[in-house]
Chains A and B, each alone.
Chain A
Amino acid sequence: MKKIILTALLTICLTNSGFANVIISDCTQFAHDAVAYEEEQLGVQYDFNTYLEVMNQWDMLCKAAEQ
């Protein structure tokens, strides 16, 4: 049940960003996928700090949706 709610919430949150098809297995993996997707969309390669900041953002969003 929790998983369904989480998926639904994240789908709502992320639909505008085009992330609707991301399969959420865990938040860390989800955050990695989100960063990779963003890098590809923009055609940029993030350095360590930017990568962490973006990853942290998606990770927090995922965890917030879990609660």
Chain B
Amino acid sequence: MKLVFSLLFSLTFFVIHSQQSIVTYTKRLLIDDSGKQNIKKVAAINSSFEKLSFTLRYNKEESIFKMDDFLDDGLSKNLNTALRIGGGNGVYASDKKNKSLHYIEYFGEDYVVDYTTEYKNLNWILDNNSKTINNYLCYRATTTRTIENPTGLFNQKIIAWFSPELNSSFGPIGYGGFPGLILSLQIDNIEYTATNIQLNIIDNDIIEFPKKGKYITYNTYLDISKKLYEKMINRKN
């Protein structure tokens, strides 16, 4: 009898901890109305995007988002560009303490950048717009995020479509916090869209965060970037 209880307990523990949902996202570059984009170049980048997909794996408490492995048939310049624009490199995680972490390799060093405060400061506006993505009714939320690069400060327009029908607050590239899973995320002209959703499946591939990387805040990360930039421009020509 003791053995039966023990087995049942172990089985329940296993089922609870290995049950997770898996969402596949694709990324594409949208044509804007500025008229400045090189349409041929955009098409070439989008054809490189077709080689890339991303997976969000989550349970009730934590999530991990990363790019899937792809066949590296000698990185073309377009694929290289596709890889670096609009985020998606490295591993994005949301842990049990609701921290939004980004594991990246940056100029030869491994870092864990904490974006929690940066994302929490975003002022999202929910409107009445709705649409269906992958048969799930989604609602729209928009915000702007100020980003910095060596040439100044810029406002990024961010649009998230979340579905209250999917009981999770996670989403792609570390965004989330809505009463429903984000099925589409647009950052300026880059759009992530969910193409495949598998809910509550038993999967042996557990959610595991990378083990390496120096923990830094987002502001420290900006400081490091500024120092790297100074170093770069002071390099002898």
Contacts and interface: CB of A to CB of B under 8 A. Distances in A.
B74 interface: no
A50 B237 contact: no
B150 A51 contact: yes
Which of B29, B38, B151, B237 has the largest number of chain A CB atoms within 10 A?
B237
B9 interface: no
Which of A18, A48, A51 has the largest number of chain B CB atoms within 10 A?
A48
Given A43-B36, A49-B221, A53-B84, 16 more contacts: A26-B237, A28-B237, A36-B151, A42-B38, A42-B45, A42-B81, A44-B189, A46-B85, A48-B147, A51-B149, A52-B107, A52-B150, A52-B229, A52-B232, A55-B150, A63-B237
A15 interface: no
10 contacts: A27-B237, A42-B45, A43-B32, A43-B36, A48-B149, A48-B150, A48-B222, A48-B225, A49-B104, A51-B151
Interface string B39-68: 001100100000000000000000000000
B41 A56 contact: no
B84 A54 contact: yes
Contacts of B154: 45
B101 to A, nearest CB: 15
B188 A44 contact: yes
Contacts of B84: 50, 53-54
B14 interface: no
A63 B229 CA distance: 16
- How many A residues are at the interface, by size bracket? 20 to 34
A52 B188 contact: no
Nearest to B226: A48
Interface of B: 29, 31-32, 34, 36-38, 41-42, 45, 77, 81, 84-86, 104, 106-107, 147-151, 154, 156, 188-190, 221-222, 225-226, 228-229, 232-233, 235, 237
Main DSSP-derived SS at the A contact region = helix
A66 B237 CA distance: 9
Contacts of A18: 38
B235 to A, nearest CB: 8
A21 interface: no
A44 B85 contact: yes
